[in-house]
Structure 1
Amino acid sequence: MPRNFLQKHKQLLKIRFRLAVCVAERNCMTLINSTILAGLLLAAVPLILHLTMKARPKRIEFPALRLLKVRRTANSRRMRLRQILLLILRTLLIITLVLVFARPSLPAANYSLRWWEWLGIASAAGLAVSSYVWLSRHDAAGTGGPAVQQQRQGRRRAFCLLGGLLAAVLLAGIPWGLRVRAELLSPASEGSEDIPIAAVFLIDNSISMKYRQENITRLDYAGQLTRQQLERFPAGSRSAILSAQSGDEVIFQSDTGSVAARLESLTTTAVPARLNRQLRLAIEAHQEDRLRTQQEAGLGGSADQYVREIYVFTDFSKSAWQLPDESQLVQLLTDKDWLNIYLVDVSVPQPVNAGLADLRLSEQSTVSGRDLVLNLTVRSTSGLPANARLEAILTDPAGRETPAAPPASVRLDGNASRVQLAVRIPPDTAWVEGTVRLASEDPLMDDNQRYFTVAVRPAPKVLLIADRTSEAIYLKNALQPDELERAGVRQCECRVIATAEAADQNFAGCDAVVLINPSRPDDILWNELRKYADAGGGVFVVAGSGRLQPAMWSTDAARSLLPATPLTVIKYLDTPGYLNLSGENGVTRVFLQDEGLRTELAAVAFDRCWAVEADPAARTLMQFTGPADRPALLERTIGRGRCLLFTSAMDNLVDGGNLWNNLPDSWGFLVLADSLLQYLTNATDKRCNYIAGEPVDLPIPEKQRFQQYLLRRPGLRQTRGQLEPAASDVLLTDAEEQGHYLLQAVDVATGFDAAFAVNFRDDETDLTKVSDDELKMLTGQRQAVIIHDPDQLQAIQRTGRLGVEVLPLLLGLLLLLFCAEHLMSNFFYDAPDSRQVPAVGGAGV
């Protein structure tokens, strides 16, 4: 490379560095057309004409006019003053006209008057006018001729005008100057149009940015604005694209093509990071890059090679920001006046949308023939058709869709409404994959459907043991209603035996064992149930009879199993007890999700219950209201299984449970019995539905262990995974796409497969906007510029770099000076009022 070329290149860099230092260290007025300032020389033309063309009067003695000398002297002073004022106005007119063509701009600050400054000007004007009126009335009765009155009037005008100007300076001018000076002492970064720019474009790529207007998504619109800015950047500029994708990095690039390619590859994500965090990354990247370039160029202080800017293109959805801010942006921006931040709103003024949210399933593991209840919210804005159709669809392994329930009509009235659908689980399948779809056309279609997956297991086998089999009939009918059994639907397989037969039973083939009111259970039964629970079984014990012998329930064998030991029967005399369902657990969750179910079960009145002594390892799942808040349902973990104890009756026999409560009369009893069975068989622990970004943990049974698997993702895309030997579960951390997933072991002989569904967060399509005040709290009052009209971005950006252009103010001043010059010229040549000319000795001339 030639040495001359290197020297010229170094000189060019030095010139740019000096320009950057000048811009960063000075707050001065800049001129767009500085050569026009030569026209200021024309301001001397009126002065030259005034001095050279001044008429020199000839001295002529005329005795008859000597009496007019006094009048002549006064008129001469007045005419001289008018000439000077007219000269000043014409000079200012030419200077202002030159400045208009030079187009000066002031350093970036708020030069507009605040309301209290306008109030100060109005007060000064009112004070001047009122003073003039008062002085005029005071001098009206004064003595003297017309000449004296005219002189007094002139003094009053001058006094009131000067006094009003002084008052305006004191009340408005000085406060305005101090405020602007404070802003100029801590200005935003400035630059000229040829200084390179280092910019980070932070683009919100959350789901809400897929909102379409005129067939353009908000993400595409943000990309268009980014390309426009890149085209306007001077040569040598560097830029970086930063999305809301977690793990994204800021990489400054000088190649515009690479930046454009990065922009083209940008897609929406269902797991966006909060914009607070990403904005902090952009600020820290600027800080590191600025320090590095200063060290490389040998610069110090506030000098920099680049004008530094951050553009945030977002639809201003509130869910994209973290409120309150944990990124501490205000503290980070306190000493970074060299950085301009533009928050650009790319949303539509009045968005319309309808969508689904808060999908809840009655259970995530069920049996064939049962009805799966789907609860979800349909939300909408105004401006949509009044009604829409809600569909539930099941998808078979081949991908074929079949309706799962009759379509429901929902009303779109701008509010949120809760909708419930029942889906019948088909037979002969291990998994059910389905979709709830809102048949409505709107600009944001992504939230018009929600996905769900349910595991289908064989009907559980339940063994019910009771001293009197009639006491078990109520619970048996609740678990397997006769109506469903006659219809061929078996929710579970129930078998009832007497307590005396329990010793001959093998509990290993049962999914749950229910022990109902045994009066004198022996240690053999307790020990067998203990072994069963320890191996992973579920035991449910009902203590709802006065025939129970507490001594037989307090042996060591019984204490090794039971969550609590019965002590004595408690009777509610004055006020019955009611179930308190405030705590959420595997049994009460279904009631807490449905207010109607909760109200129904909470209305059951309990007249009796057992007072118990709880085991230290037990926990209370339900309790009664009333004195002492006695436990109603307790749980204790036994090995790999669990044991539950209910301290009141679950039958309606006249000589039995009817004296204790009216629980079997309530339809909430059916739901409670089913919930207890789900909890005992670990069905409530099964999870098949996740939110995007959540870790998915799939347990692997010991007999089905494997090391390699295939994961079918939405869109039929497959990925392969590897496990450690003897791994007991599969942990997935990258399930971020909405849709259905299926994991299968590569070794088909193991027979392991697991299906699940993923939906994005409901607030990802919530179009509620964050307010300007909230954004100012996040970034500081003066650190970021909020732009709601992207068309104004270039003008606001130019103000941030070059300052505030004062062309409109100069045009207004030019017009004012022209009018004042015109009025002064007419006033200068006006003839004096003949009535004010004094008579000379009573003689005519």
Structure 2
Amino acid sequence: MSFLNSSLLLGLGFLALPVILHFLLKQKPKKLLFPALRLLQQRQRQSVRRLRMRHVVLMLLRMLALGIVVFALARPSVPPANYSLTIRETAILLAVIAIGIASYLFAVRRLRRRALPQYQQQAKQSSLRNWTTVIVLAALLLLVGWPYQRRIAAEFSQPRSVTSLDLPVAGVMLFDNSLSMTYLEAGETSLDRARTIAKSHLQSLPTGSRIAVGDTGSDRPIPFQTTIVSAQGRIDSLENVPTLIPFDDRLREAIKSQEDDRRRILSDQSSVDEKQRKDRYIRRVYLFTDLAKSAWRTAGSSLLLADLQREQSINVYLVDVGRTNGRDQAITAVSLSGDRIPVGGELVVSSTLQSQGEDIPAQGIELLFENKTGETIKQGQSTVRLDANLPAQVQFPLISGFTQRWLQGETRLIGSDPLTFDNTRYFTVEVSEPPPVLVLAPDAATAQAWMTALAPHDRSSAALNRFKPHFEPFSKLPELNLALFPAVTMVNCIRPTDEAWSQLGKYVEGGGGLIVILGSPDIRSDFYRRALPQQFLPGMPDSYQSIGEWSFSITERNHPLFSIFRRLENYGSFSMFENVVYVTRFWKVTPAEGAHVLATYSDPEHWPAILERSYGKGRSVMLTTAAHLPDNPNQRWNNLPSPLLDAWLFLSFVEQMTDYVSRFSDERRAFLAGETPVVKIAAQPVERNFLLKQPDLRQSRLVIPPGATSVVIENISTPGHYQLIDPDSREAVGAFSINAPPEESDLTRLTAQDLNDRLGVDRYQIAQSLEELKDRINAADLGQEIFPLLLVLVIVIFCGEHLVANRFYEQTA
């Protein structure tokens, strides 16, 4: 135990005053003139003894009251510990008291049933009360007091060394500057509140203190600032950015910064024996956060726990600037009918909304696009009801007629809430001419169904087609330049020669996409099992299954090949494909090394239905059943292209498979903050310069080496629209959008158990204001003051003294 004012302990000398008063003001028993009766004399002797005992009790109460007053003024402190009762200890305490009271009342009730004289009944009841009190106190000492003292004994047996308040502080202030810290209340964000507390605390630090300032927006080291003023400037310069580095990792960096600084200070004391070297600073780490889970790792880090356990001399203070009942309305996702649409084509935009903390009967949302001059034009508006913590879907009416190369838009909530960054979500769509794709088959009739699915619109609606299919008989393959086509489909090609396989292999290796459809019993499987095609084909056909009835089973629903099915899942895309489509024949195919089976059949052996494999820069996909519909029903292998099914199912199937092999689906145009955008460009033999147009109207120059086919753009995280501009033509050659991660909208806070799992039990102190922070620091550096508890005891003892004095010294008539 330590004292802030140890000199005041001399006041314990005043404990002699009650003793002096006891002897000077000792009340003598009164002499009463009664007949010399033995009973009265005995009563007199008992009265004298009882009066002496009462004098001693009163004297002890007065001495105890004075002693506690002196201790309280000396401000004693004890080592930091959890001195409050645990839930288990509190439950045992209440249970023992309740049992004691119940037992006493039960015994009194039975006692009253006995016909005893009143004086005997009062005596027994008094004795029963005394024994019950003693037993209850003994039980409390045994069941509560003993476990309690064992629990905190470690803090007293190994107390921390007392720290002088005059020592300078070496502190690391680590700020959570994620987007959830933009939560606005009373005109002040959470980050603003953190700044205010931090800067006010800097003014109270002892002379010579040093501060380092870090944040979660980057993984840069956290150096100590040269002066307190420079630390204040660093705090003022903090800006909210999407979470890039988990708070746990930055805390480890803060601890490392403290370790390196202490190691440097000890090494400077080279003239002193190593065992005698001492650190000249109090080591602290301040964490300023709203406790939103999104800024921390999903699970605690064992490395962080090990660091905190190893560095016991570093005190950790967590300053909570968040709100326990936060509310927010957010757009968490935007879905498009396609990231690439043909000129004049159609686009469907839908958004996912969610409200946290409250129900919203009618939330408005609008759809906006930027025109060629950069002006924002409203294209649609909708209203939806939001139930708390449940997602809601909004789909805007179909829009069409776009002709500009890059279409950049956003969905935006109407109105405002305390968290505004997630009220807008951005997207980018490429508008271009349909790319040509090649379809090879023995004859045009065999390729007709696949060709129609690639370009289902004709005449005036032809602009809506996403592809421009081109048919050629397989026999003309040697005459074709495959480099002109991003995707090639082989439909029931009977006897591909080695020359054809060689040509196709080089095409795939160079980045082309190949689809192989096995839907004819005339296919010569031995031509497919040769070593040359097996270098890039995903499977080796053996024989075809005779007539039966099976269904598809998709094993990899999250695979990019099924992206359109996932988007249309609300319309039953997967369910229809697996339950409505039936298969009567298929080829038995053994997967090649490195191939992935994406779908199987429902036959007992679960033979592969769809397989894919990467080779070089390209990829190949194999469908082991037919994709055409012969006129003779007895020759049909399945009903997938049948007009009796919903036409969109087969069209979506063909479109997503072609998109996948041609890598159109790989070209992302919407990224999350923290990801690295990649923009594809046409290769040129010379070095080129491009300008990156950013949402804050800034532009940066990028240098592209000769022959580059893509531009990797790093160190950007601001949500909004971006364009890659050719400075010569002033035209955009690429565009993309960046959005904040949707989890940053989640205001769910870490619980006490979460913090214990990450930081360790009793390894940190929590404060929600500057005053609480000062109290936590005093408790950690000097121990936990028991001044309030002592004052309460003084009040209780003075009340007891007053009661005893009035009862013991009352005048009798």
Tell me if both proteins adopt one fold, taking TM over 0.5 as the criterion. yes
Query: For residues 512-537 of structure 1, what are the alpha-carbon distances to aligned partners after superposition, in whole Å with 9 as ceiling and x for unaligned?
Result: 44443355667776666566656655
Q: Secondary structure at the match of 1:734?
A: coil
Give matches, 1:337-416, under 5 Å: 337-383=312-358, 385-403=360-378, 405-414=379-388, 415-416=390-391
Q: 1:472 to 1:243 in 2, by over 3 A?
A: same
Q: Comparing 530-539 with 121-130, which one deviates more in the overlay?
A: 121-130
1:534/1:640 contact within 8 Å kept: yes
Is residue 467–residue 499 contact of structure 1 (8 Å, CA) maintained in 2?
yes
TM-score, normalization by structure 1: 0.81
Taking the aligned partners of 1:117 and 1:615, their CA distance within structure 2 comes to 65
Aligned to 1:842: none
Q: Does structure 1 residue 784 correspond to structure 2 residue 758?
A: no
1:423/1:716 CA distance change after superposition, 3 Å: farther
CA distance 1:501–1:110, change in 2 (3 Å):
closer
What does residue 607 of structure 2 align with?
Answer: 630
1:472 and 2:447 equivalent? yes
Q: 1:131 to 1:408 in 2, by over 3 A?
A: closer
Shift of 1:198: 2.9
Q: Secondary structure at the match of 2:605?
A: helix
Structure 1 residues 637, 373: closer, same or farther in 2, change over 3 A?
same
CA shift in 2, pair 1:317/1:564, >3 Å? closer
Q: CA deviation at 1:356?
A: 1.6
In structure 2, relative to structure 1, the CA distance for the partners of 1:77 and 1:652 (3 Å cut) is same
Structure 1 residues 189 and 215: CA distance shift in structure 2, 3 A = farther
Provide the residue aligned with 2:418 in structure 1: 443
The range that moved more, 163-172 or 235-244, is 163-172
2:212 paired with 1:240 = yes
1:121–1:168 Cα contact (<8 Å) kept: no
Aligned residue type for 2:671:
Y
- Displacement of 1:373 in angstroms is 4.4
Q: Which runs of no fewer than 5 residues in structure 2 stay unpaired?
A: none
Cα separation, partners in 2 of 1:545 and 1:350, compared to 1, 3 Å: same
Superposed CA deviations along residues 348-398 of structure 1, whole A, max 9, x for unmatched, are 231111112243445434432333444542111243642223333332453
Distance verdict in 2 for CA 1:661–1:117, change over 3 Å: closer
Mean Cα displacement is larger for which, 539-548 or 86-95?
Answer: 539-548
CA shift for structure 1 position 647: 2.7
Alpha-carbon distance in structure 2 between the residues aligned to 1:454 and 1:771: 41
Consecutive unaligned residues of structure 1, counting only runs of 5 or more, are 1-27, 834-845
SS of aligned partner of 1:233? coil
Q: Which residue of 2 aligns with 1:267?
A: 239
More deviation, 492-501/777-786: 492-501
What is the aligned partner in structure 2 of residue 30 from structure 1?
A: 3
Aligned position for 1:762:
742
In 1: Cα distance, 2:24 partner to 2:593 partner: 114
CA–CA separation in structure 1 for the residues paired with 2:418 and 2:234: 26
Check if 1:655 corresponds to 2:635.
Answer: no
CA-to-aligned-CA distance 1:446-495 (integer Å, 9 cap, x gap): 11222222334432224444444333332222111235754644433334
Secondary structure of the residue aligned to 2:684 is helix
Structure 1 residue 692 corresponds to structure 2 residue 673: yes
Pick one of 248, 255, 267 that aligns with 2:227: 255
Q: Deviation at 1:787?
A: 3.8
CA drift of 1:180 comes to 3.1
Residue 188 of structure 1: how far off its partner (Å) = 5.7
Conservation of the 8 A alpha-carbon contact between 1:704 and 1:752: no
Report which of the two structures shows the higher radius of gyration computed on alpha carbons: 1
> What secondary structure, in the 3-state scheme, does the structure 2 residue paired with 1:387 have?
strand
| CA deviation vs aligned residue, 1:743-794 (integer Å, no higher than 9, x gap) | 3456769x99332222222112211112111111111111112345776333
Percent identity over the alignment? 32
**Offset from partner CA, 1:47-87 (integer Å, 9 cap, x none):** 22333455899999999799976555444333322222222
Residue of structure 2 in register with 1:590 after alignment:
564
Q: How far apart, CA to CA, are the structure 1 residues paired with 2:57 and 2:20?
A: 15
Deviates more, 1:290-299 or 1:94-103: 290-299
**Do the aligned partners of residues 96 and 125 (structure 1) sit closer, same or farther apart at CA in structure 2, a change above 3 Å counting?**
farther
* Deviations, residues 570-604 of structure 1 (Å, cap 9, x unaligned): 2352x423252526544323324442322232231
Alignment pair present for 1:732 and 2:708: no
Whether the aligned pair in 2 keeps the contact of 1:188 and 1:340 (CA below 8 Å) is no
SS at match of 1:663: coil
Offset at residue 705 of structure 1 (A): 4.6
* C-alpha displacement of 1:192: 5.2
| Counterpart residue identity of residue 310, structure 1 | V
**One-letter amino acid matched to 1:678:** D
- CA distance in 1: counterparts of 2:529 and 2:259, whole angstroms: 71
Shift of 1:663: 0.7
Task: Quickly say closer, same or farther: Cα 1:526–1:37, change in 2 above 3 A.
Answer: closer
Q: 2:334, 2:352 within 8 Å by CA — same for their partners in 1?
A: yes
Alignment check: 8 A CA contact 1:772 1:786 kept: no
Deviates more, 1:192-201 or 1:272-281: 192-201
Does 2:300 correspond to 1:325? yes
Q: Deviations over 1:401-425 (max 9, x none)?
A: 234x532333222211234457656
**The one of 722, 728, 732 aligned to 1:741:** 722
Rounded to whole Å, the distance in 1 between the matches of 2:266 and 2:589 is 76
2:777 matched residue in structure 1: 797
Mean Cα displacement is larger for which, 53-62 or 610-619?
53-62
1:713–1:740: 8 Å Cα contact kept in structure 2? Answer: yes
What is the SS of the residue equivalent to 2:737?
A: strand
3-state SS of 1:386 partner:
strand
Distance 1:39 1:701, change over 3 A: same
Label 1:189 to 1:473 Cα distance change in 2 as closer, same or farther (>3 A): farther
Structure 1 residues 165 and 464 mapped into 2: Cα distance closer, same or farther (>3 Å)? closer
1:391 match: secondary structure: strand
Tell me which residue corresponds to 2:284: 309
The amino acid that maps onto 2:466 is Q
Could you report, residue by residue, the CA deviation over 1:486-508 in whole angstroms, capped at 9, with x for unpaired residues? 46444333344556776766656
C-alpha separation in 1, matches of 2:507 and 2:467: 19
Rate the CA distance shift 1:426–1:581 in 2: closer, same or farther, 3 A: farther
Tell me, what secondary structure is at the counterpart of 2:765? strand
| SS across alignment from 2:82 | coil
TM-score normalised to structure 2 length: 0.84
Q: Shift of the alpha carbon at 1:217?
A: 0.9
Query: Residue type matched to 1:814 in 2?
Result: V
TM-superposed CA distance for 1:213, in Å, is 0.8
Report the CA distance shift for 1:69/1:413 in structure 2 as closer, same or farther (over 3 A): closer
The 1:527–1:101 alpha-carbon spacing in structure 2 relative to 1, beyond 3 Å, is closer
CA distance in 1, matches of 2:550, 2:704: 56
Distance 1:378 1:131 in 2: 61
3-state SS of 2:383 partner: strand
For residues 229-269 of structure 1, give each alpha carbon's deviation from its aligned partner in whole angstroms, at most 9, with x where no partner exists. Answer: 22332333332222112223333347332121111100012
Q: Report what 1:814 is aligned to.
A: 794
Query: Aligned equivalents of 2:34 and 2:621: distance in 1?
Result: 134
Q: Is the Cα contact below 8 Å between 1:346 and 1:790 reproduced in 2? A: no
Aligned partner letter, 1:715 = D
1:182 aligns with 2:154: yes
Q: Alpha-carbon deviations, 1:542-594, whole Å to 9, x = none? A: 33234545577678887788655655432352x42325252654432332444
Q: Deviations over 1:676-730 (max 9, x none)?
A: 3323433223232222222333455443552543322221212223455655543
Aligned to 1:493: 468
Q: Matches of 1:510 and 1:327 in 2, distance apart?
A: 52
Shift of 1:811: 3.0
Q: Conserved in 1, the CA contact under 8 Å of 2:679 and 2:735?
A: no
- Seen in structure 2, the aligned counterparts of structure 1 residues 150 and 469 have a Cα distance that, compared at 3 Å, is closer
In the aligned structure 1, how far is the partner of 2:417 from the partner of 2:781? Answer: 40
The Cα RMSD (Å) is 4.4
Give deviations 1:162-215, integer Å, cap 9, x for gaps: 777666555544444333332233446754544433322211000111111112
* 1:397–1:245 CA distance, 2 compared to 1 (3 A): same
